[in-house]
Amino acid sequence: MELIYNSTRNKEEKVTASQAILRGLAPDGGLYVPAFIPALDRDMKEFAGMTYQETAYEVMKLFLTDFTEEELKDCIAKAYDEKFDTKEIAPLVEKGGVYYLELFHGATIAFKDMALSILPHLMTTAAKKNHAEHEIVILTATSGDTGKAALAGFADVPGTRIIVFYPKDGVSPVQEKQMVTQKGDNTFVVGIRGNFDDAQTGVKKMFGDRKLGEELAKGGFQFSSANSINIGRLVPQIVYYVYACAKLLASSAVAEGEKINVTVPTGNFGNILAAYYAKNMGAPIGKLICASNENKVLYDFFRTGVYDRNREFILTSSPSMDILISSNLERLLYRISGEDDKKDAGLMEALASGGRYAISEEMKGELADFYGNFATMEETAKEISDVYRESGYILDTHTAVASAVYKKYVRETGDAAAKTIIASTASPYKFSRSVLTAIDKKYESMDDFALADELSALSGTKIPPAIEEIRTAPVLHRTVVRTDEMEQAVKGFLGI
């Protein structure tokens, strides 16, 4: 049975899975969602005996129904290979009674690799299936990790170009160095004078500009996205939640049917939405714990039902979560509104025009699966220090936000018995300064690469190639623009 996708803002905008991946964003500015969330057709006992690649196929085949078995398995095999430094791909590590799902074993040492390793293969396959005549231009905004993972995935992929915008002063030094040293004749990295929301708004504006779309077409190009607004990013993320639940069952850490809570450090809402989809497919997930940093727009939303981005934008030690417009929340709003596209379009219009919206009491009642809270930078640093001193395990700043929020959840609800997975979204090497100074202030004066050496000695882990390769790599991308110059930068790179 073919699963069709429609726009959250117009149910009549219907496409196949491959078309949704190719387009990225619907013409009306909405996000593509499946007509229904399919149920898992294997039980968890069966999943317990599967590899990551086998799990990926069993989950993704239910969503990407116009891909053949051969096409999908080929994409999976090319994605989850020796680029990851562990055969498990996403190992679970038990520390202090919780299970950290390590999603940072890919090429760029962040969880974005889990989906962006496969998206280029899904997209090029989709282009062939739909006889795409134009070169695909991946247009992406990043708060730090998506940019490098997308660049690594699409670099020198035939028939594609990739343009990444990032906030010039809003990412870590390692994140920036990873991006601006990226090789590939088809890659273009641009810093903007603004924050991530400015970058994301500028990208969305270009997607919705019909005149620009016509100019691109004349030049032989078409836009697509590698952001989590692309359903081709979201579907692969569902896989690791099913995989993690199955591995806990396989190790006898949980009984069959036992519910498992999931805690996710959350910015653009894609990662926790994937867990929500996994739960709705039949994975034994209980509470979805949404962890925010001091840009706590999601915490306020879950507590009040009001989403309000009209507030100070705070640069924190967890920059990938420094976001005030959580784009993927639109997919959840669509579902809890009873798939009311007009309601969703109205809420998004209110957000665009006034920066806020309020959901109905009925919609609030549909959020019972979620718990929201936040951690300050001080609380985040304390969590890194506490976990290290208690177990010797070193968390990155984003995972530490999630870990601190999980403890708040337990204190507030008393729900300490449920087994809990914490999504560990980045390697501590990516944020070594914040991590090490949380453990000991003596590290404050060291440079970033000396810190990597110290972190290796302290953790007993090898410095990842992603860090070693940028020690001496030359800077290849130096473009910095104002937000009103983003379109011109795109045109200049494409020569139109």
| 352-356: long-range pairs with CB below 8 Å, 24+ | 355/308, 355/309, 355/310, 356/306, 356/307, 356/308, 356/309, 356/310
> 213 vs 135, 136, 210, 222, 224, CA distance in Å?
13, 12, 5, 7, 11
DSSP H helical ranges for 130-230: 145-154, 173-180, 196-207, 210-219
Known catalytic membership, residue 112: yes
Give the start-end residues of each E strand in 359-430.
370-374, 420-424
Task: Output the DSSP codes for 211-241.
Answer: HHHHHHHHHTEEEE--STTSHHHHHHHHHHH
Residue of 11, 73, 112, 296 marked catalytic: 112
7 and 341 Cβ atoms separated by less than 8 Å: yes
User: CA–CA separation, 224 vs 109, rounded Å?
Assistant: 24
Q: Degrees (nearest 5) of the Cα angle 76, 72, 274?
A: 70
13 and 27 Cβ atoms separated by less than 8 Å: yes
User: CA–CA separation, 33 vs 11, rounded Å?
Assistant: 10
Q: What positions carry a catalytic annotation?
A: 112
